[in-house]
Each structure stands twice: as C-alpha cells, then as structure tokens.
Amino acid sequence: MTKINVKGTIVSITKLHNMDYISITDMIKAKDGDFFVSDWLRNRNTLEFIEIWEKIYNKNFNCGKFAIIKSKSGLNNFKISIKELIEKTNIISLKSTPGRYGGTFAHKDLAFEFGLWISVEFKLYLIKEFQRLKEKETNLEWNITRFISKINYHIHTDAIKSNLIPKELTQEQINQIYANEADILNLALFNITASEWKKQNKENLRDCANIQQLICLSNLENINALLINEKIPQKERLTKLNQTAIHQMKLLTGKFPEFSKEIINTTSSNSNLC
C-alpha cells in the first residue's frame, strides 16, 4: 500500500482488480466537521456517477437493483452503506475492508469526485500528488526493465562472440558485427536502425523506448542468441524476430504496426547488415 501527502493529509493507495484505489476513509480526515461516506452516498449525483462508471467497467454490475436504490435518493429516510451497496448491486468502484489497515477505498475516478466534496482545492492537490506518484512508479519500472535488458544484452553478445566472430578479424570488424546484430533487433522491433534513428533524433534509440518495448527487446535478445547458436542465417532470424516482436507487442499493448517486408528484402543486400 502506497501513501501520498495531500496538503498534510496522508492518503493510502492500493491495487484492486489491477486498478488504483484511493482511501476515502483517509480523505475524510481533511474535511472540517463530522462527515461520513454514507452522507456522500445519499446524493443522487454520486449514485449516477457510480452507475455510469460501473456500466462501463463492470460486466457483472446489477444495474436493475442499483436503479431501485438510486430512485430512493433524495428522500429524508434514504441511507445506504458501502457494504450494502456492494452486496446488492455487485459494484467494484468501492471497496470496504475491516481491520487495522482497512477502510473504504474508491477507484481513483470516484475518489477524485469524492475529493470535490472535501474541497475543490483538495481535489486538485489529490490529482496532482497521484500523478506525481504514477510518474515516479513509471520511471522506476522503466529503469528496472532497462537494467534487465542490459543483462540480457550480455547473453546476446556472448552468442555473437562464440558463433559469428572469426579470430582473424580486426577490432573494427568485430565492432561492426556487434553493431549489425544490434540493428537486427532494432529492425525487428522498431523498424529502424540505430544510425537511421540518430540522423533524426539526438537521444539513443533504446533510451527512448517505453517499458513494453524494453520488455520485448529483452526477450528478442534471448531469442536471437538461441537462433545464433543454432546457426540460423541472419535474414531468417530477422523474419522470426519480427514475427515475435509483433506478437509480443500485441499482447503487451494490444496494438503494433505491421513490419515492412521491404526491410526484410533489402537487408540481405545491405552492406551494413547480413
């Protein structure tokens, strides 16, 4: 469980259903006077927001029973607890857990709306601190993935050294072979060589890669090392690696552009590759 400081109020954040949930129990502490989650749930606008959210994200949402509950909002005697709302309508935007580290958690979309009930200022600072946390987590994940990719790089270069570099070559020729094999991976994943990238950009190609690309690249290094050890020709390896890259990126992101067949056809005649 992660914690953020929102204008002096420590607010917990956890993962549920692979999504971020924010403790509205913690958020209430920033509200002046007596204020309960049940008071917020009595509001029709709150229930309408929950209803729309659940219809979008929850296939098991019981919208019929929820509509009955919503129709009672605004009445003087209307009151419902989080536990009762979950049990009757199977909502997932709210979660109530007992115990020392328990409390009521809301999906971040709903928690931001709850923040407005505390104050406009609190909501804005909550969003700001949440975004700062996400940026920090993303940078940490990127650095870890980049580190793993560098480790697998040594597995890749060892396969090249053992299978593709004759003893009589000069150091310059050896470096060229390493660069060529690195570009096979670049072509398979990014559809561009390192030198072509540098002509258009100042930063290193792989330093600009996102987490999903780095994960895929790390896998490609291992696969290419195996293919090199099996004496598979470079042109055939490029085709296999690209097919793997397309498949893995589709799994990781749900989208990946088709690889240009022209690149496969031209690499065999390119002096810098193959």
Each residue of 144-183: pLDDT tens digit? 666 666 666 666 777 777 777 777 778 888 888 878 888 8
3-state SS track over the chain = CEEEEECCEEEEEEEECCEEEEEHHHHHCCCCCCCCHHHHHCCHHHHHHHHHHHHHHCCCCCHHHHHHHHHCCCCCCCCCCHHHHHHHHCCCCEEEECCCCCEEEEEHHHHHHHHHHHCHHHHHHHHHHHHHHHHHHHHHHHHHHHHHHHHHHHHHHHHHHHHCCCCCCCHHHHHHHHHHHHHHHHHHHHCCCHHHHHHHCCCCCHHHCCHHHHHHHHHHHHHHHHHHHCCCCHHHHHHHHHHHHHHHHHHHHCCCCCCCHHHHHHHCCCCCCC
The confidence score (pLDDT) of residue 264 equals 35
The confidence score (pLDDT) of residue 94 equals 92
- Mean pLDDT across 86-96: 91
- Mean pLDDT across 9-16: 88
Q: Which of 37-46, 49-58, 166-175 has the highest mean pLDDT?
A: 49-58
The confidence score (pLDDT) of residue 111 equals 92
The overall average pLDDT reported for the chain is 80
Question: Is the pLDDT score of 212 beyond 90?
Answer: no
